[in-house]
A and B are shown apart, each in its own frame.
Chain A
Amino acid sequence: MSNNAAKHLFIWGSVLCFVILIVLTVDTMGKLDQRAPEITAEVDEGKKVWHKYDCIGCHTIFGNGSYFAPDMTKVTVRKPTGYLKKFIMNPRAIKPDSAMPVLGLTDKEADNLMAFLDWTSKVDTNGWPPAPILASARMDKTAGAGQVLFYRYDCAACHEIGGMGGVAGPDLTHVGSKHPDMEWHIRHLRSPETVVPDSAMPSFDHLTDQELKEIAEYMITLK
């Protein structure tokens, strides 16, 4: 190949690739609205708050950003916004050893952020993040009714038992020794705040009495 031929191949080949990219970009832009909910004024304001506090300097969102803190893409799927709002306004009130600082968010800003994070949680991301394929191993086959409910209602999003689960709330591996009373657990699940002042745990009032009883039974077996 002569130098001139190589040069022309480079220039025109690149221009062609760029044109294809632009065509795909136009097509993508046309399809994005069907893949996400409507962007309300709160969502837009929330996005601005996200930028203002440089949340991406610690967190990822859609998997992009910094790797110092958990991904935010689907965060409202596993944890209620009531809890998350409380957390971001004052992380260390809920988790004293939290690595997230108090940023000084106002109540309004936190509400808008929740609208924003709820919006990203509903975007069609081609199935990302994937469900952990090895996680099913954690349910042992002899699990009792209470343990099944514990995972069905995703208490594990916030609580660890035996090293598995979230860290937003206390480790429950030995909670049966700490709170051996069934009634305490039922009352706490119905209305955490009346039992533990300023509790950030969501209420599970919508569960049936039977379900609450079964979960409480499971709790007190954790010695």
Chain B
Amino acid sequence: MQYQSQKIALNFYTAAVLLFLVQVLVGIIAALQFMWPDFFILNFNTIRTLHINALVVWLLLGMMGATYYVIPEESETELWSVPLAQLQFWATVLAVSLVVVGYIIMGINPQANTQIFGTLLLNEGREYIEAPRWADILIVVSVLLFLLNCFMTVLKTKKFTAVQGVLLGGLTFLALMYLPGMFYTNSMVKDQFWWWWVVHLWVEGSWELIAAALLAFMLHKLLGTEVKVLAKWMYIEVGLVLFTGILGLGHHYYWIGTPGYWLWVGGIFSSLEPIPLLLMVWDAFRTTRETRGVVSNRVGLYLTVSHAIFNFVGAGLWGVVHTLPQVNKWTHGTQVTTAHGHLAFYGAYVLLIVAMMYVTIPSLRGVKEFNQSKGYQAFWWMTISMIFIVITITGAGMVQTYLERLFGLDYVAVKAGYNLWFWIFRAIFGVGFLVGVLILVVDVLTLGKKAAA
């Protein structure tokens, strides 16, 4: 670490891994509720809301932490304002805690979720963006302060690097794409239309830009690859991400009441979406192969390459199989979607942030050598468990598609009968995943501390 202010990243990382732990704990509860709906004081909907909100928030915290590390290094100067970064961190933690308390209150007593000023007080009742309007505003303010801090840092030295440009471009796009989720419309069709702008243009647009920039950053830092080469491929990758991903949004407009031409737009553009993800895999392998000499942070490199591979498999392959309207007509809204959602988020973003942690924490704590074995253990526990969860749920999705959609059996009959074993196995593999997360949390909190002392 060259700049003291980079240390703020550690705050974000700590909060991120703790929320990751919460996410996975409630994930296991959700899985058990498929067998015993009354298993917990909170109903499934509240548990699921906590699960997916914790996911999104900890990934965002991880991205912010990573960015606070990257920007000073790229700009070769201290962060514009450390107190502002600290304020922004604690404000975010406070807002998130308040929202969680609100969800729990609403889970216990749904009547508490009343209308104020035309919006719902505790839970907006829209998947992923359940946070109420007042919290949306706090989130936007927090992100704007964060962006301000980053841009002011860049302006201090005016070293406009490619990585910095794409990273901050992606983050700005991310902030903008939160806005379409922030107004009420009385049409459920329009509601879903704008909701997908947020969800799709995040994970298949702005977040992929951030991923591509961080990938280039990590490859450069780990392998010393020339920035010029990395930057060129990064531009090509993010270009293709947006050329396919922006209009690929159409793959969510097949069946929600929107005109039929979306079947063509969505089908054509979204089936091309795996191409840039494959390029990223090739990029990671090529730079690794071309590197001479030893890489000291092997686990960091391992995670970086794994991120590239699982981004392609989870988002690219598990996405493309159900993206054509001819297939999606039958699989839409089944467990096939859940399987894809898990592997895509895991490969594209969980592994990205975990890789960033392993690449940057050693230098943040000022060590060159550290015990890498826990990192590998965490990776393998999580990855093997996730692969099995995904296989299990893909199986459940295929059974559901066949029996319910093609054969006309009742939804409940399929869920409670034919798919029961899949739910049981998901819960068991979920515990394996939890083991991996526990190892990760301990390692992230302690890594390099002993060596430094």
Contact = CB atoms under 8 A, between A and B. Distances in A.
Interface in B254-291: 254-263, 265
Contact of A13 (B44, B114, B242): B242
B186 A67 contact: no
Contact of A134 (B113, B114, B258, B407): B407
Given A48-B115, A64-B127, A68-B33, 16 more contacts: A10-B242, A35-B257, A35-B259, A51-B124, A54-B46, A54-B110, A55-B45, A56-B45, A57-B44, A58-B43, A62-B256, A65-B333, A69-B411, A116-B188, A160-B410, A165-B410
B124 A3 contact: no
Contact of A20 (B113, B190, B247): B247
A126 interface: yes
A130 B331 CA distance: 11
Given A1-B232, A54-B46, A130 B120 contact: no
Given A51-B125, A138-B408, A167-B413, A14 B48 contact: no
Nearest to A9: B239
A134 B405 CA distance: 9
17 contacts: A6-B232, A18-B242, A35-B189, A35-B258, A48-B115, A52-B114, A54-B46, A56-B45, A56-B127, A57-B43, A57-B127, A60-B333, A68-B33, A68-B45, A128-B255, A132-B407, A166-B413
Contacts of B409: 163-164
Given A104-B111, A125-B255, A126-B263, A28 B330 contact: no
Contact of B242 (A17, A28, A32, A51): A17
Contacts of B37: 99, 101
B406 interface: yes
A6 B239 contact: yes
B10 interface: no
A125 B259 contact: no
Given A56-B127, A57-B44, A57-B46, A39 B186 contact: yes
A23 B380 CA distance: 46
A57 B258 contact: no
Interface of B: 33-34, 37-38, 43-46, 48-49, 106, 110-111, 113-115, 120, 123-127, 130, 162, 186-193, 195, 228, 231-232, 235-236, 238-239, 242-243, 246-247, 249, 252-263, 265, 329-330, 332-335, 337-338, 404-413
A81 interface: no
Interface in A1-38: 1-3, 6-7, 9-10, 13-14, 17-18, 20-21, 24-25, 27-29, 31-32, 35-36
B48 A68 contact: yes
